Amino acid sequence: MNLETLRHSASHIMADAVKQLYPGVKLGIGPAIEDGFYYDFDRKEPFTPEELDKVEKKMRQIIKEDQEFTKEVISKKEAVKLFKSRREPYKLGLLDELKADEVSIYRHGKFVDLCKGPHIKSTGGVKALKLLSVAGAYWRGNENNTMLQRIYGTAFETEKELEGYLKIIEEAKKRDHRKLGKELGYFTIQNDIGAGLVLYHPRGAMLRTIIEDYIKKEHIRRGYQLVIGPHILKSDIWVRSGHYDYYKENMYIFKIEKQEFAIRPMNCPGHMLVYKSRIRSYRELPLRLFELGTVYRNEKSGVLHGLLRVRGFTQDDAHIFCLKEQLEDEIVGVIDFVAETLKVFGFEDFEVEISTRPPKSIGDESDWEEATAALKKALDNKKLDYKINEGEGAFYGPKIDIKLKDALGRPWQCATIQCDFALPDRFGLVYTDRDGKRVKPVMIHRVILGSIERFIGALMEHYAGAFPLWLSPEQVKIIPITSSQVDFSRELASKLREDDIRPILDERSVKMQKKIRDAELEKIPYMAVVGEKEVRAGSVSVRSKKDGDLGVMKIEEFIKKLKEEIRQKGGGLYGKST
């Protein structure tokens, strides 16, 4: 049985149950999603947990009745008449958007919905389901529209699969980066600043700096050259790139002295202008330009979600300008870069997708075919499995999306590799070949980590906030037992800093047990407890977040241990930390 079809059928059953229990509720839409399904409802009173239980109970009754799903194709005029009679304004709004003369509806029992399907044979085919939560959602994702109530649920073919998923959900709640970010002091998103805009606190800023320093060093090591572009560019540039026509609704546009500008939603135009600043020879290619570029996108408030979907974020963005005959090797090089980087950060598995030409796009069909073939060939070269997302590419070229899998097996969008023949043409980019002729280069848009914000969110949930030593903003908490050991502890902190280790000293006048407990809650990898014996011996009593009490160590021995663990990174050892 197709799981997506099963879940979409469950969403119809949920809508039927809600309408039976609360007849005045108006129906929105109810698709299957990656881990389940949802349905949007217009109801003045918020759904309570007790009401969700009632809805689920009614759903089970509908399932027990094993009502058949039937499809009907009717004229749009008939559909308008039907949903007017049923007083469903949102369905009428959907019909108004449709240009087709005929539409399909699905029925089961007395319930009917506007839907293209497919569905399972009957309601009895849903064997295992659970309603999960309620959230607000603007109709069609537009904050100017009515706020609806979205009920989320999930369904599986067996109760065993459902139970396994619910256990993951419970663990995911503990790992929620929004909860951890606030509790551990990494970041906040405050209304005073604006929705979707991240304020990094000291720990979060340090974590981000560690990640950015690592990824910048790796780019330089692999032959990339650093560039930096402005955050605003004249709108003429975005018209030339096509973003103004294809992406304008997601851009922040304003005027200065009658000249229109836009805050950059992408970094590519700036990199192309760096390339175009002088004549390039084929001997210079491939040319790899890299920037930790901050961009801003006008995301609807209804889709904002912690660090995962924000309005301002930074990408480890690069553009590779190359000859056609270099294209496959460059794509393979990026794939290797991604795989190696994910492993360093503790992610052992990922999944791959290729997205092809969308209906609204630029460029020649032959270029799109050649670009898509190059992406496929590179993945085949690496013997990587992938699935095809038809029509989901960027407007200027097809792309590879690489999604990392965290400790709970959940996918997170990470790297993207986009092959582009169109924008170099729009910007008039050329190089001189061996014969002195001017030839258009191919451009690869690519990110390794993707959005740094999203990557931090994924890291926090992967490690449940208990980062490996090299990533932890605070690596050692020094705990003097009494005030008489504070001077020694300060000297120890200074010595650790000299060795590029990040300590924090707890000088509070509280019991040692509280200091230790707080360090555990803060998920700091190591504690160095200092008493009178340790001061006399020039040592520390070491406790590890991962391995517990490690006993007394000489300071030099402790530093050596820390430096070796940092050198090895050891990210994969911590994936199941709590």
Q: Which residues are catalytically annotated?
A: 268, 297, 315, 317, 319, 399, 445
With residue 438 as reference, give the H or E element that holds it. strand 438-439
Distance CA 399, CA 39 (A): 31
Task: Determine contact, residues 371/398, Cβ cutoff 8 Å.
Answer: yes
Task: List 27's β-bridge partners, or say none.
Answer: 41
Distance CA 3, CA 306 (A): 28
Closest CA to 318 of 185, 231, 459, 447: 447
Q: Which two tokens stand for residue 445?
A: 């848009």
Distance CA 167, CA 161 (A): 10
Type of residue found at 131: L
DSSP-based three-state secondary structure for 249: helix
Closest CA to 123 of 105, 110, 104, 132: 110
In order of 10, 30, 128, 535, the CA distances from 33 in angstroms are: 12, 9, 16, 59
In order of 256, 326, 398, the CA distances from 418 in angstroms are: 33, 15, 6
Burial of 562 (0-12, 13-18, 19+ CB in 10 A): buried
